[in-house]
Amino acid sequence: MPERTVAVASRSGLHARPAKIFVEAAARQAVPVRIRVGDGKAVPANSMLGVLTLGAGHGAEVTLEADGPGAEEALTTLADLLSRDLDAEGAEGAEGAEGAEGAEGAEGAA
């Protein structure tokens, strides 16, 4: 069974927004993916509750595993996602959306 080990880059670890982004991406994969911390029990990567119960903080090494056609691609996609700071990416997107709404409101008031 193919595996990939990666350190969690998000500042808050796999909690809240980063976990949601990861779980949604895992659900889109062509094969079921499991995730575990160290030698712990693996949980389905598409389960929000399962991922949150891992308690994977910033810098924690997690192992992703999958089997079947498309497993390598799924592991690469999810490992790449975990190696990014999803907290920072999410905050930038939220700030951009708020700024756009504020600009539209200012134009409408003028």
Q: Which of 13, 14, 15, 21 is catalytic?
A: 15
Is 15 a catalytic site residue? yes
Q: How far apart are CA 59 and CA 7, in angstroms?
A: 5
C-alpha closest to that of 18 among 44, 51, 41, 43: 51
- DSSP string across 33-75: EEEEETTS--EETT-HHHHHHT---TT-EEEEEE-STTHHHHH
**SS3 category, 4:** strand
Residues carrying an active site annotation: 15
